[in-house]
Structure 1
Amino acid sequence: MVERIAIIGAGPSGMAQLRAFEAAREGGAEIPEIVCFEKQSDWGGQWNYSWRTGIDQHGEPVHSSMYRNLWSNGPKEALEFADYSFDEHFGKPISSYPPRAVLWDYIAGRVEASDVRRFVRFNTIVRWTRETEDGFTVASENLTSGDTVTEQFDRIIVASGHFSFPNVPDFEGLENFTGEVMHAHDFRGAERLEGKRVLMIGASYSAEDIGMQAHKMGAELVTLSYRSHAMGFDWPDGVEELPLAIGFDGNRVTFRDGSVREVDAVVLCTGYLHKYPFLPDSLALSSPNNLYPDGLYKGTVWQQNPHLFYVGAQDQWFTFNMFDAQAWFVRDVILGRIELPDAEERAADIRHWLAEYAALPDHDSEVVYQANYIRDLIERTDYPMFDLDEVVRIFQAWQQDKQVDIARYRDKTYPSVMTGTMAAVHHTPWLEEMDDSIERYLTPVGHPASSSEHRDPRPGAHSARAKTLPRSGLVGRDGAAARV
């Protein structure tokens, strides 16, 4: 009998898994029956931007934490697919730091070149899962019709991500704060912060990027508040770092070092929780956001039940191509091309990777560690090997670029590890670019739409809206428009 496989989620991880099975089918392999459950109306996960926050139109928690003005905060050369280059998709060099719509177009383009969409049930949420003697029972609901279906599957691949359930700490007096409070998960754009004094609580990528977005959009003052260590960049005028906020009194905030600031808005950049409400405790990963969650053999196989897999569950330096490496490995386990060792040997392998992780001294070594992890997976499959050491060098250069100029590092360019193509310089420096549409981004230099007369989304701005260009030559998306 043909096995039935459930993939939960059609974001970048689920899309990688679909592509992995399709690549095997194209190579002549017989693949299992696949059902991919996706609660949103289209694939792309976090990259499938929605204006909605809190609860969606079906009364379900909004999945995406994406905001309008997001540009890649890491070089695209570090996340490029080994089997589908940016050159192949766009037909020309583009910059190293594209906006969200461009990256969404890229990841969707690869899977839309095949017929894997037929495997996906959109607007369908998995309600619960139960282990059985011969697999799993999965109950799902079509959010449009309200119909509920209970089915049997031999294996489950969890590809739902772990950046959707916000970690929301409390702070003394915050209930009486007179301004606006939101978690980064609900942040949708910095235009509303123009002229305001903004407090970012957190010292990682969300705080850094949303803080700089607020500065770019004209915030009067951006204060970043750290718990343990300051990010320590050479911040531009109007951006500062202070120790942790310890108390609120109206719009006055007191910090651990005794500093006091008056603020108009607070953004909690305090991270996310591993949360899988559709799984029982016996199957649900419970871990801090780290590079090697305990309980997963090769970072993918659930130790307590090796018929359950996770893709994209770790903290990420690498993203899209790491999801590919994991998806190809999971696929080959399911197809019988890779034989899993017994439980004791798997546990020893997990301990080995955890011990190496615990000994890492700095961020540079973390990048090398994750590169070695990806190499270990790729060497076991037929996924195209690429120069992981060169990607490490790009990451290290990226970190140095940020130290030199946090406001302008996105103007740097790198060569593709896959094709050697040098990235193009975007026609407008990031700090001055107020229109992040794919049409403007791909506009040739010298076209009227690439002049200074373009759309400025900030309240009160009076720039002319950029002329849009037809989408000819781009991969379509059925009518629809990390460290990334």
Structure 2
Amino acid sequence: MIEDYNVAVIGAGPSGLVTCKELLDSGLRPIVFEKNDDIGGVWNPKTGSTWDSLHVNLSHNTMMFSDYPWKEGTYSHHFPSAAEQFNYLKSYAQHFELLQHIRFNSRVTRVQQCQDPVNGWEVTYEQASGIERTQRFDKVVVASGMFQNPNAPNLVDFEKYTGQVSVAKDYKNALPYHNKSVVVVGDSYSSFEIAAEIAECAPGSKVVHIIRRMPWIMHRMLNRPKPPGVDNLPGAPIHPLDLVFFNREATAMIDSMPGGIAADAAFKNGLLNMICADQQLNQDLHKDPATLRDLFMCTSDTYTRVYNTGKIQLLKVPVTSINGKHFTFEDGTTFDADCLIMSTGYQYQLPFLPKDVQDAMEYNPSNRLLPIILYKNVFHPSYPTLGFVGWFLNTYFPIMELQARWISLVFADEVSLPSREVMEQGMEEERKIRDCTSVRPQFPHSDYTKIGDSLAKEFGALPNFDHLKVHIARQNLLDKLSKTLLQSIIQVPNCCTITNKDDQTLTLFDFKK
């Protein structure tokens, strides 16, 4: 019965699916509202933000949930394709029997706290027929995703452009751009990938790429960083970039650097200067790590190579006028463009939340780093029955899973939230990240080891690493001892002996008896 559901989850992308699964594991009864006719969120091939040739930026190790590893043969090398990632989510939903808890073609239009907060929340949703319905829930989880509403174009004279306009979210492949002149705007991951693909795969195309600033262009497979003082990395083993950066060794190395935020950025820029060596060989793409005050990166295995062929014209100056299809730039460059592709980010919208809730969370849809201020990006002390999953920039699968598990345990009364004072202190830390002006971070929580540990600690899932080290040391010793014993058995079939520290020979097995 519908009335039996007690938790509403908004969105059936990765964050909504893992939330549904965790709530079920905690004995709760969720219903997931999904505005489209299928799961997947950004990975949905029909309504998401992927294109035909896209492969994920991070390896399959990071793009999965802990209790459902990728099966051999279901992904391409280290980095699954968009289609494979979508199939993984479909398989995950089927394996844990989540689909029966999802209400498709149901767009949430309003989430309003009941007049008596003890009674929970009223969720209003619009069905495909246009009919609106309202249902009461004890708790609500917002897992609607951040990449739904592309930013409006911010180009001088944009309204005067008469060519074809699209956004990166709608790009599928290079076929429509054969023999076309194309302007790609943006310095995001997708803009570099799309510009390179059109330039290389659309015969007769001409591509102008407009950026505000040059990022470090990283390959998906990187050399593993070495400690300070090592001059180069060429001989280091190759790993997926997430295994290089998202580990305790890398975190400890960075934490050991003295000098605070500025020194941290300087060290990382110096490291990226070595990692992005092919980019640094081209003067147009070159970055001077000594003058950088912030970190800015993107991932592309093809952009530098394609740019070196001369097929992309890169402009770092603003547009000063557009007339029809004719672009004029600040440096005097002109270009006639048949097509304009905007890849300039997203507005992070929460239109279904009432203004008092938005105001309490300091909601700002234009803030790229932190559009809302929450404790650990999950809870607000004024609304303990409202949780958020995946609502800070670049929340990957393991972090979503930890957020969802924490919410489910809190909602099931198995774990208590910290005091209001502690939560307010945590929110102040988020404000410091949001308002930082000295070294502006690209992502609010780029150290995924730290943010993961911080979340795990909230519900008792963080291991005692000192005890773990002792356990591992003991296990290694036992493994070595087992090998010694096995060799003895093989060498002396009738008995197995071992000499202790007092040089006493002990018979452990005697096959004569």
**TM-score, normalised by the number of residues in structure 2:** 0.65
**1 CA distance for matches of 2:452 and 2:43?**
23
Contact 1:181 1:267 in 2 (8 A): yes
Contact 2:123 2:135 in 1 (8 A): yes
Residue 335 in 1 paired to residue 331 in 2?
A: no
Larger radius of gyration: 2
Which residue of structure 2 aligns with residue 32 of structure 1?
A: 28
Please report how far the alpha carbon of residue 165 of structure 1 lies from its aligned counterpart in structure 2 after TM superposition. Answer: 0.9
Matches within 5 A, 1:13-162: 13-24=15-26, 31-50=27-46, 64-86=48-70, 89-90=71-72, 94-132=76-114, 133=116, 134-143=119-128, 145-162=129-146
Matches within 5 A, 1:277-292: 277-284=351-358, 285-288=363-366, 290-292=368-370
Task: Please state whether the residue corresponding to 1:139 is helix, strand or coil.
Answer: strand
Please report how far the alpha carbon of residue 293 of structure 1 lies from its aligned counterpart in structure 2 after TM superposition. Answer: 4.5
Instruction: Please say which of residues 145-154 and 262-271 is displaced more in the overlay.
Output: 145-154
Which residue of structure 2 aligns with residue 6 of structure 1?
A: 8
Task: Please state whether the residue corresponding to 1:348 is helix, strand or coil.
Answer: helix
Task: Please state whether the residue corresponding to 1:141 is helix, strand or coil.
Answer: strand
Q: For the structure 1 residues 68 and 264, does the alpha-carbon distance in structure 2 shift closer, same or farther, using more than 3 Å as the test? A: same
**2 CA distance for matches of 1:223 and 1:296?**
40
Structure 2 residue identity aligned to 1:325: L
Please report how far the alpha carbon of residue 169 of structure 1 lies from its aligned counterpart in structure 2 after TM superposition. Answer: 2.5
Please report how far the alpha carbon of residue 373 of structure 1 lies from its aligned counterpart in structure 2 after TM superposition. Answer: 0.9
Which residue of structure 1 aligns with residue 202 of structure 2?
A: 218
Contact 1:253 1:263 in 2 (8 A): yes
Which residue of structure 2 aligns with residue 267 of structure 1?
A: 341
Structure 2 residue identity aligned to 1:248: I
Instruction: Please say which of residues 358-367 and 340-349 is displaced more in the overlay.
Output: 358-367
Please report how far the alpha carbon of residue 365 of structure 1 lies from its aligned counterpart in structure 2 after TM superposition. Answer: 9.0
Contact 1:10 1:159 in 2 (8 A): yes
Listed one character per residue, the Cα deviations across residues 41-73 of structure 1 (whole Å, up to 9, x for unaligned) are 1111111111xxxxxxxxxxxx53333332223
Please report how far the alpha carbon of residue 206 of structure 1 lies from its aligned counterpart in structure 2 after TM superposition. Answer: 2.0
Contact 2:40 2:89 in 1 (8 A): yes
Contact 1:73 1:209 in 2 (8 A): no
Task: Please state whether the residue corresponding to 2:53 is helix, strand or coil.
Answer: coil
- Which of 441, 447, 451 is 1:373 aligned to? 451
Please report how far the alpha carbon of residue 279 of structure 1 lies from its aligned counterpart in structure 2 after TM superposition. Answer: 1.9
Structure 2 residue identity aligned to 1:269: S
**2 CA distance for matches of 1:355 and 1:49?**
37
Task: Please state whether the residue corresponding to 1:266 is helix, strand or coil.
Answer: strand
Listed one character per residue, the Cα deviations across residues 319-343 of structure 1 (whole Å, up to 9, x for unaligned) are 1222111111111221223211233
Listed one character per residue, the Cα deviations across residues 193-220 of structure 1 (whole Å, up to 9, x for unaligned) are 1222211111111211221221232252
Identify the structure with the greater helix proportion. 2
Contact 1:161 1:312 in 2 (8 A): yes
**2 CA distance for matches of 1:346 and 1:315?**
20
Contact 1:69 1:190 in 2 (8 A): no
Q: For the structure 1 residues 158 and 341, does the alpha-carbon distance in structure 2 shift closer, same or farther, using more than 3 Å as the test? A: same
- Which of 212, 229, 234 is 1:227 aligned to? 212
Stretches of structure 2 that go unaligned for 5 or more consecutive residues are 217-284, 286-302, 466-513
Residue 346 in 1 paired to residue 423 in 2?
A: yes
**1 CA distance for matches of 2:211 and 2:413?**
47
Q: For the structure 1 residues 172 and 94, does the alpha-carbon distance in structure 2 shift closer, same or farther, using more than 3 Å as the test? A: closer
Contact 2:54 2:82 in 1 (8 A): yes
Instruction: Please say which of residues 101-110 and 221-230 is displaced more in the overlay.
Output: 221-230
Which residue of structure 1 aligns with residue 243 of structure 2?
A: none
Structure 1 residue identity aligned to 2:324: G
Please report how far the alpha carbon of residue 375 of structure 1 lies from its aligned counterpart in structure 2 after TM superposition. Answer: 1.8
Contact 1:38 1:125 in 2 (8 A): yes
Q: For the structure 1 residues 108 and 289, does the alpha-carbon distance in structure 2 shift closer, same or farther, using more than 3 Å as the test? A: farther
- Which of 317, 326, 331 is 1:257 aligned to? 331
Task: Please state whether the residue corresponding to 2:447 is helix, strand or coil.
Answer: helix
Listed one character per residue, the Cα deviations across residues 21-46 of structure 1 (whole Å, up to 9, x for unaligned) are 2344xxxxxx2221111111111111
Number of aligned residue pairs: 365
Please report how far the alpha carbon of residue 384 of structure 1 lies from its aligned counterpart in structure 2 after TM superposition. Answer: 9.0
Q: For the structure 1 residues 236 and 38, does the alpha-carbon distance in structure 2 shift closer, same or farther, using more than 3 Å as the test? A: same
Structure 2 residue identity aligned to 1:355: K
**TM-score, normalised by the number of residues in structure 1:** 0.68
Q: For the structure 1 residues 367 and 301, does the alpha-carbon distance in structure 2 shift closer, same or farther, using more than 3 Å as the test? A: closer
**2 CA distance for matches of 1:203 and 1:291?**
16
Q: For the structure 1 residues 324 and 180, does the alpha-carbon distance in structure 2 shift closer, same or farther, using more than 3 Å as the test? A: same
Task: Please state whether the residue corresponding to 1:297 is helix, strand or coil.
Answer: coil
Please report how far the alpha carbon of residue 100 of structure 1 lies from its aligned counterpart in structure 2 after TM superposition. Answer: 0.9
Task: Please state whether the residue corresponding to 1:203 is helix, strand or coil.
Answer: coil
Stretches of structure 1 that go unaligned for 5 or more consecutive residues are 25-30, 51-62, 388-484
**1 CA distance for matches of 2:162 and 2:461?**
54
**2 CA distance for matches of 1:305 and 1:90?**
43
Contact 1:168 1:183 in 2 (8 A): no
**1 CA distance for matches of 2:320 and 2:382?**
41
**1 CA distance for matches of 2:12 and 2:443?**
31
Task: Please state whether the residue corresponding to 1:306 is helix, strand or coil.
Answer: strand
Listed one character per residue, the Cα deviations across residues 227-276 of structure 1 (whole Å, up to 9, x for unaligned) are 24456363342123212323212222122333222222110111111112
- Which of 306, 311, 318 is 2:389 aligned to? 311
Residue 242 in 1 paired to residue 315 in 2?
A: yes
Contact 1:130 1:279 in 2 (8 A): yes
Which residue of structure 2 aligns with residue 463 of structure 1?
A: none
Matches within 5 A, 1:373-452: 373-381=451-459
Contact 2:75 2:84 in 1 (8 A): no
Which residue of structure 2 aligns with residue 207 of structure 1?
A: 191
- Which of 195, 205, 211 is 2:179 aligned to? 195
Please report how far the alpha carbon of residue 157 of structure 1 lies from its aligned counterpart in structure 2 after TM superposition. Answer: 0.6
**1 CA distance for matches of 2:20 and 2:443?**
31
Task: Please state whether the residue corresponding to 1:96 is helix, strand or coil.
Answer: coil
Please report how far the alpha carbon of residue 173 of structure 1 lies from its aligned counterpart in structure 2 after TM superposition. Answer: 2.8
**2 CA distance for matches of 1:384 and 1:113?**
27
Please report how far the alpha carbon of residue 280 of structure 1 lies from its aligned counterpart in structure 2 after TM superposition. Answer: 1.4
